[in-house]
Each structure stands twice: as structure tokens, then as C-alpha cells.
Structure 1
Amino acid sequence: MYEIVTVTKILSPEMLEVSCTSSACNGCKGAAFCNTKGKHFEAWNKTGLAVQAGQAVQIYLKPSRTIAGTLITLIVPLALFPVGYYLSQMAGFSEGASFLTALSSIGLGFLGVWFYFKTSQKRYLPVVERILTEESQD
């Protein structure tokens, strides 16, 4: 998915903070997944373009990465619920303790997903493709 966004802040030569307006998201097929209307998010300046705050840039996010990121975030913790419940039942825990253990396994799943995305952050970030405006709005 290609999208036009505005650079709000330069975090590092490789990382930018960008935002898109709701009008930029209208008609986007990925709007149900990204939910970034009016929010600030990071984009990867992979090619090292000379970008300044206030410039409009075009970003690209692979739809498969968006869907995969959503699925990883939701499926992994939910899949750990029955695993935690089953293991606690096998250990002889009561029904209530098994339920609490299963809920704890969901929390552990979210912690694992957070760690995974922290270590492979750039893989799931949108990539800055090109600069659309040459003047900054400082």
C-alpha cells in the first residue's frame, strides 16, 4: 500500500515520525488494519533520503506485512490460552487456578509478541519511498 504522509519529526537518519490525515486514508484498502488516521507513527528511511520535518513523503507498506503483523499480535497470545489451561489442568490445578494460569499465558503471549516486534521492528515498518515536496513547513 502506498500512502502520502507528512514528516512530523526526524528521530534518526533512518527513522522518521510521520502522520497521515484522515483524507489521505480515505479509500485505502488497509484502513481497517492500520487505524493511523490522525496519529503519529514511525517510518523507516531505508534509502537515507534527505528528509526534513514538514515534507510530504510517499511510504510503502506491504499488505502482507500488515496482515501478518495483525495476526501475530492477536493469534499468538490467544493460542497460548488453551495451552496454559491444558498444562495447568495436567499439573492438577483447580478450575479457577487453571483459568488464571491461562489468562497469565495470554499476558505472556503479548509480552513475547512485544519482544518479537522490538527485535524485528524495521521489518514491519512502512518504508519511505520518495519525497513529494521539497520545501519544509518550519
Structure 2
Amino acid sequence: MGGPGGGGGGRGGHGGGPPNEEEMQQMRETMHELMQPAARLTIVQHEDTVSFTDDQGHVRKFVANGKDEKHQLQAATLETKSAWKDGALVIQWETGRGPTVVRSYRVDTELRRLVIETSMKGGRNPGGADRPPIKHVYDAVVDTAQD
């Protein structure tokens, strides 16, 4: 309880109350960045490290060992975990008060395509676990350069 005549507890912030306007704006920007597909991706794997470079030149490196890492987005720094599961690279993004974003990257070698499936778990939004995953499909770029 708070002081004399007070009702106790602060408003907003990280204390469990509703987020303030600044936190809401940061969450919107973070979710937009996470959910917006890149027009083009370049992916390089070296041992257990996978690097992604998007069409804006942003490079993100993930160590696929299931351990916590931190990755800087434009709006926030988020905790991530990445690991290989059933032939797919699965990256989990913890957004704090929002949903956990889980993204899997699977290569369809027969069709030469990359299939990215994104799902959201938890958070305060209605629908929670009932939300269907979002799929993005990228065709492999054929290198036509000649020596």
C-alpha cells in the first residue's frame, strides 16, 4: 500500500500495470519490424552460426545452440533463442509484454524454396494460440554470373 490516503502502486511501467503510451509505441514498432517480410534475404551458415542479411542491409547472426542471445532491432533489443529442430532453424523472439514470436526457416530442396513460418504465442492479444501461422515463401536466386 502507498502512503497516507494513497491507494498504492504506480501506473504503467514494468511493474505489471498496463503499458504506457511510449511502451505501446515501441511494441507496435517492434512487432511491425518482426512481422514485415524482407523483399530479399541472403542467408549464410557456418557451423552453428546462421547469418541473415535483408534487403535493407541489416545483418543478424544467430548461434543455433538453444542458448539466450540478444538481438538489436530498430525499436528494441530482444532476447532470442535459436536451435535446429526437425531440419528447420527455429528462432524464438521474446518481446517482453507482447507475444513470443516463433519463426522457423525450412529449405524445400526439391522446389528450391525457403519457407518461413511465423507464429505468435501468448501476449495480451485475443486469439492467442488460435492464431494461424503466417507463411512466406522465397524462391532461390539462380546465379547467372559467368566467369
Q: TM-score normalized by structure 1?
A: 0.26
Higher RCO (C-alpha 8 Å, min separation 6): 1
Q: From the two aligned structures, give the one with the greater helix fraction.
A: 1
Structure having the larger proportion of residues in strand = 2
